């Protein structure tokens, strides 16, 4: 089965709320696209009056059932807010919480074309274009080498109306307030107006041309690493027959295999606890009860040498997901907006 856009899901973190402990590990509770309040809670009158920055941690999961790798994953804010608030994204860790956020986290966002129009051939070497990011918080965050997506689609999969879009890379950037002057690695390939309008659900939407700065996620796949064997003569064949995780069921945990004799062992996780017992003579699979798919599988041929009572093997299991912090900045005094929306771009390749 080929990779489909539905194979990418956003899962909530363990503490999906405000506060210093917000964030943490991944859950298997998916965020429903298009559901009001699913991503961030409603902004109250007092929050709009005073202004507020709110954070939520999500996990972009490769949910492909055939265990295809999602190569060179990219994530960013696609269509920005329709109201007066602004959204940002930053790459996190599998266990961090809000109180861990510091100056080392790199934030990205989307900038709206600052001129009335641009034409193909602009923006490359010796040329530059201006983009308005709405706030001054991204100066020093967005840098040369960052990948970008330029579009005037409704969202990255839309085929409605004007549908120009292209990928590029920042060659240089300078700032004047919220406006970034950006030279791109390659010239713009299409003509773009600053915005256009369309009707969605009976409402008039203004669709801007924007430059979406993207987070580089690398390959999104389960990874087993950091093997540590404590044994006089037991060996493993991880180069040829490695332990492997499952796209849907894998989680972040350190796994310990403890032998009771030369043939039999028990398995546990630092977070998962007991995962049952197995034997060298057969494949061992630990099943995730939330998904009914494996956390990981140990092939029979993985084991080599002679293992003994008390010998152990540890390894780190990293899931097929990437932790992402989202930030909503609500400037003080903005007006209410009934049907706000924000779109994300999740891009990559799979074979």
| Domain residue extents for the chain | 5-219+321-350, 223-318
The 3 state secondary structure assigned to 92-125 is: CCCCCEHHHCCCCCCEECEEEECCCEECCCCCCC
Say yes or no to pLDDT of 160 above 70.
no
Mean pLDDT of 216-239: 97
What confidence tens digit (pLDDT) does each residue in 332-342 have?
A: 999 888 778 88
The CA distance from 25 to 28, in Å, is 10
Q: Which two tokens stand for residue 33?
A: 């696209």
Given the DSSP bridges, would you call strands 117-118 and 215-220 parallel, antiparallel or unpaired? Answer: unpaired
Say if residues 91 and 146 touch (Cβ distance below 8 Å): no
pLDDT at 279: 98
Write the DSSP symbol of residue 260.
S
Cα distances from 65 to residues 1, 174, 222, in angstroms, run 9, 44, 12
Contact between 149 and 216 under an 8 Å Cβ cutoff? The reply is: no
Q: How far apart are CA 106 and CA 141, in angstroms?
A: 6
Task: Compute the distance between CA of residue 58 and CA of residue 56 in angstroms, rounded to an integer.
Answer: 7
**What residues contact 67, with CB distance under 8 A and at least 6 apart?**
221, 246, 247
**Cβ(231)–Cβ(85) under 8 Å?**
no
pLDDT score for 30: 95
> For residues 84 and 135, is the Cβ–Cβ distance under 8 A?
no
Cβ proximity of 72 and 349 under 8 Å: yes
Burial state string for 268-301 with b = 16 or more CB within 10 A and e = fewer than 16: bbeebeebeebebeeebbbbbeebebbbbbbbee
Return d(Cα 211, Cα 166) in angstroms, integer: 10
pLDDT above 70 for 288: yes
Is the pTM higher than 0.85? The answer reads yes
In the block, which residue shows the tokens 């669709």?
Answer: 207
Beta strands in 177-230 (DSSP E): 179-184, 192-193, 195-200, 203-208, 210-213, 215-220, 223-230
pLDDT for the residue numbered 82? 84
Q: For the chain, what percent of residues have pLDDT higher than 90?
A: 82
CA-closest candidate to residue 33, choices 214, 133, 208, 157: 157
- For residue 314, the tally of other CB atoms under 10 A from its CB is 15
Contact 12, 31 (CB under 8 A): yes
Alpha helices in 22-84 (DSSP H): 45-50
Residues 176-203, mean pLDDT to the nearest whole number: 93
Q: Please state, in angstroms and rounded to a whole number, the distance separating the CA atoms of residues 174 and 48.
A: 30
Region 231-236: mean pLDDT is 98
> pLDDT tens across 78-130, in order?
988 888 899 999 999 999 999 999 999 999 999 999 999 999 999 999 999 99
The number of CA neighbours under 13 Å toward the Cβ of 100 is: 15
- By C-alpha distance, which of 221, 241, 236 is closest to 317? 221
Q: Looking at residues 20-34, what average pLDDT do you find?
A: 94
pLDDT of residue 342: 86
Per-residue tokens: 312:
């152990």
* pLDDT value at 166 more than 60: yes
Q: What is the mean pLDDT of the chain?
A: 94
Q: Work out the average pLDDT over 31-54.
A: 88
pLDDT band at 1 (very low <50, low <70, confident <90, very high): low
């Amino acid at each position: 089965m080929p990779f489909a856009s539905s194979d990418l899901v956003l899962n909530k973190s363990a503490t999906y709320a405000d506060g210093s402990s917000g964030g943490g590990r991944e859950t298997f509770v998916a965020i429903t696209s298009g559901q009001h309040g699913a991503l961030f809670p409603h902004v109250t009158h007092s929050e709009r009056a005073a202004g507020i920055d709110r954070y939520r941690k999500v996990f972009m999961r490769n949910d492909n059932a055939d265990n295809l790798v999602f190569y060179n994953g990219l994530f960013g804010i696609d269509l920005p807010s329709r109201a007066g608030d602004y959204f940002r994204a930053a790459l996190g860790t599998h266990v961090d919480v809000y109180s861990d956020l510091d100056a080392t986290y790199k934030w990205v966002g989307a900038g709206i074309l600052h001129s009335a129009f641009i034409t193909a051939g602009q923006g490359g070497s010796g040329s530059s274009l201006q983009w308005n990011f709405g706030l001054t918080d991204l100066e020093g965050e967005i840098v040369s080498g960052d990948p970008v997506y330029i579009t005037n689609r409704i969202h990255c999969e839309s085929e409605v109306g004007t549908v120009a879009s292209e990928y590029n890379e920042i060659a240089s950037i300078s700032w004047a307030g919220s406006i970034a002057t950006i030279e791109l690695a390659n010239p713009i390939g299409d003509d773009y107006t600053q915005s256009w309008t369309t009707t969605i659900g009976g409402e008039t939407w203004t669709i801007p041309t924007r430059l979406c700065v993207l987070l580089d996620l690398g390959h999104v796949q389960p990874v087993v690493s950091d093997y540590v064997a404590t044994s006089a003569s037991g060996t493993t064949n991880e180069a040829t027959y490695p332990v492997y995780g499952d796209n849907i069921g894998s989680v972040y945990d350190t796994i310990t295999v403890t032998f009771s004799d030369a043939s039999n062992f028990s398995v546990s996780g630092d977070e998962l606890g007991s995962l049952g017992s197995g034997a060298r003579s057969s494949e061992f699979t630990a099943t995730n009860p939330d998904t009914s798919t494996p956390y990981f599988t140990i092939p029979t041929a993985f084991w080599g040498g002679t293992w003994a009572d008390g010998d152990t093997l540890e390894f780190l299991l990293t899931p097929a997901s990437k932790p992402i912090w989202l930030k909503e900045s609500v400037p003080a005094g903005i007006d209410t907006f009934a049907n706000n929306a924000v779109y994300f771009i999740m891009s990559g390749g799979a074979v």
